[in-house]
Amino acid sequence: MSKLLESGLLLRWGLVLIAVMLSAALITNSVLSYRNVDRAATSLAMAEGESLFREVEARLAALRGPVTSAQLEWMLEAADNLHGLAVVSDRAGELASAGEVAEWSGSLPPPPGGAFVNLRTTRAVFIKGLRDRPPPRRGPGDERRRRRRETRGERDEGRPPRRPPMPHHLVMVFEPELADQSRAAAIQNVVLGGMASGASLIAAGFIWRLLVQRERLQQRRHEEGTLRTLGEMSAVLAHEIRNPLASLKGNAQLLTERLPAESAEHQKALRLVSEATRLERLSTDLLELARSQEPSRSTTNVKNLIEQAVEVAGVPGVKIVAFEAPESWRVDADRIQQVLVNLIRNAHQANLKQANLKQAHVDQVSVQETRVSEEATTQADVTVGAQESRGVLHLAVLDRGPGVDDDVASRIFEPFFTTRTQGTGLGLAVSRRIVEMHGGEITASPREGGGSVFAVKLPEDAAP
C-alpha cells in the first residue's frame, strides 16, 4: 500500500473512479428525469386532447345531418393546433376526414372505453367515442305522436326492431405544445448531463496526465540527483583507480608478450589483462552515465554512422537496412555511435544465449556445459535499421534472442540492472542517458517471430 501511495497510482485510479461514478450518476439522473417527463408529457397530451375533444364535440352536436369532410375542414381552419379530424364508425369505417388524419385513423384501434392518446414526434393522436345526440325535448304534441307510434307499432308487429345507432369515434391529430415543451426541456437536460459527464471524464484524464508528468518529473529529478552523486563518486574512482589500473594492465600485457604461450603464467597474465579491461570499461561507463555535458551535435551521415558502429562492435553477420534513412542528421556522432555499439553487442549476446539454449535442448545437457560453435556465432541474426518519419530519425537493432519479458522491460534501462552474470548493468542505462540528452526516446519490445527490438527515436535538431 505504501508503494502504491508513493507512486501515485492509487490516487490516479481513485480520481478516475470518482469521475466515472459521477458521470454514471449524471447520465442515470438525466435518463430517469427524461422518462418521468415523458410520462408527464403523455398526461399533458391527454389533457390537451380532452380539452380539444370537448370543443369539437360541441361543434359537432350543433350540426344537423351527417358530418361531412367540408365541415371538418372548416373546424380545422378555426383551430390553431389541430392538424387532422376524422369521424370513424366501428362498422362502416371512416365517415369523414380532413387534414393529416388519413395516415393515423386506420392504424390505431378504437379504445374500448374512455380515450386513447399516442405521441408521435411533434404530433399527438387522440381517439375517443362520441356521445349519442340527446333526444328532443317533449312538447304539446308529444302525446299525440306517442299514440301514433303505438298504433304504428301494433301494425308493425312482427317486424325486426330498428338498429341501435352506430358507435362513432372522433380521431384528432393535434400539436401538443405543453408536452413538446416539457420533452424538449428533458432532452436538453439529457444532453447537458451527457456533456457534463464527458467533461468530468476529460478533466479526469487531463488531471491523470498532469499527475503522470509530475511523477515523471519527480523521478527524473531523483535520478539526476542519484547520477550527480554517482558522478562525484566516479570522479574519485577515475583518479584513484583508473591510473593504477592502467599501469597494472600495461604490465600484464608486457608479461603476456614475454611469457611462453603454453605456460600457466601466460594464461594468468591474459586473465589479468581481461579483468583490468573489464574494470576499465566499468569506470568508463560510470563516468559516461554521470556525464551532464550537452551533446555536441554536428551533421552526420547516418549510413556511415551505422557502419562505423558495426565495425567498432566487432560482431559478425550484422545486416544493415538503411534504404529509407536520411542522408544526414544532426547528432553527437561519437555518443550515438556508442549507443549503437551497446545495442549491437547486447543483440549479439542475446543471440548467443538463444543458440546455447537450442543446442542444450538438442544435446540434452545443461546450458552451462554447452558452447556455441564459430559457425553458429557467424550465423547470428542481428539487424540494424534506420528510417526517417515526420521529423524523427528511427534507429532499431533487432535480434533473435530469447526476447524481453514485461517485468524485465520495465527495468532494463535502470542503472546496474542486468540479466547476464558477467554484465555491469550500465550499457543500456548509458544508452538511455545519451538518447534522452538528444531529446529522444529508447524502448525495448518483443520481435515478431521471436527476439527483441530496441528502438531509438531522435527528433530533428533545427539548430544550424
Where are the chain's structural domains? 2-132+167-195, 295-464
State pLDDT tens for residues 74-130.
888 877 778 888 887 766 667 788 887 756 544 455 555 556 666 666 777 888 877
Q: What confidence tens digit (pLDDT) does each residue in 177-204 have?
A: 777 778 788 888 888 888 888 888 888 8
Residue with cell 603454453: 262
Who has greater pLDDT, 239 or 192?
192
Separation between Cα atoms, residue 107 and residue 461, nearest integer Å: 73
What is the per-residue DSSP string for 415-439? TT--SSTT--S-HHHHHHHHHHHTT
DSSP of 356-380, one letter per residue? HHHHHHHHTS-GGG----HHHHHT-
Q: Which residues are 319's β-sheet partners? A: 383
Q: Are 288 and 430 in contact (CB under 8 A)?
A: yes
Query: What contacts 68, CB < 8 A, 6 or more positions away?
Result: 96
Is the Cα dihedral 430, 431, 434, 436 positive or negative?
negative
Classified by CATH at the fold level, domain 2-132+167-195 comes out as: Profilin-like (3.40.1840)
On the 0-12 / 13-18 / 19+ scale of CB atoms within 10 A, 187 is middle
Alpha-carbon separation of residue 433 from 26, 293, 426, 437 (angstroms): 47, 11, 10, 6
For residues 26 and 196, the answer to whether their CB atoms sit within 8 Å is: yes
Query: What CA–CA distance (Å, rounded) separates 208 from 215?
Result: 11
The answer to whether the CB of 332 falls within 8 A of the CB of 295 is yes
Candidates 2.60.120.10, 3.40.50.720, 3.30.565.10, 3.40.50.300; CATH matching 295-464: 3.30.565.10
Amino acid at 221: R
Average pLDDT over residues 279-288: 74
% the chain with pLDDT above 70: 73
CA distances from 188 to 40, 180, 201 (A): 16, 12, 20
Confidence of residue 161 (pLDDT cuts 50, 70, 90): very low
Comparing 327 with 37, which gets the higher pLDDT?
Answer: 327
